[in-house]
Structure 1
Amino acid sequence: MKYEKLPIEYWEKRDYLLFVYDVLGDMLRKADKLRLSDFEIKFDSEEIIHDFEKAEDMFEWMDRNNHHDTSLQMFKNHTFFSLLKDFCFFIYESLSCASRGKVTVAYS
């Protein structure tokens, strides 16, 4: 039997979610390999670096100090990849529930 506790009508959905999970995981691995979310900010002096390192909120500091575009791009990339990673965990948990026969939880 393919999935012991999973009713047969859900096998196709589970296979599709496994495929989606693999594709998204591959996207995240390639994004890390290509360093798509990496950023480098060049500061003019040690004083500015020290001021930046002391800031409680780096995005707010960048906005106040003429680095708004960099701040925005960093925030977009960080948010996108964080949500994508969380979604992968969500799919994995759904698949885990499905394999244990908890279909209502898995596909809610």
Structure 2
Amino acid sequence: GKTIDEAVAVSNKMVAEALGGLPPNKMHCSNLAADALHKAISDYKDKQKQKSVKESPAAVHPHEGHKCICPFCEVAMDEPYPYCSGCGAELKYCPKCESVVAQGAKTCANCGAELED
């Protein structure tokens, strides 16, 4: 067994040597093995990055504890005001979950409730 960092360092030559020397017409097989290993490691690292972003509470709820986040300037407000205290934009709220919704939206992006015009 090797660590990820050790496995990344595996070269085509190392695979061929580990196999005890292959006939010239079979060398492409060892190249395919090293290439597949590197692709698998790359895929694993990409999935780990995606997983850590999904699990990061800061990434999911950057203003947790505030009732309203302005979609224009991202100012966090403790009360649902009709205008943003940061940029002055007019704010519209979902009647069901009280999330800020985009002007002209037909449904709430947070809870899926139908919105009135």
TM range (shorter): 0.3 to 0.5
Larger radius of gyration: 2
**1 or 2 for the larger relative contact order (CA 8 Å, sep ≥6)?**
1
Higher-helix-fraction structure: 1
Higher-strand-fraction structure: 2
Q: TM-score normalised to the size of structure 1? A: 0.36
Q: TM-score normalised to the size of structure 2? A: 0.34
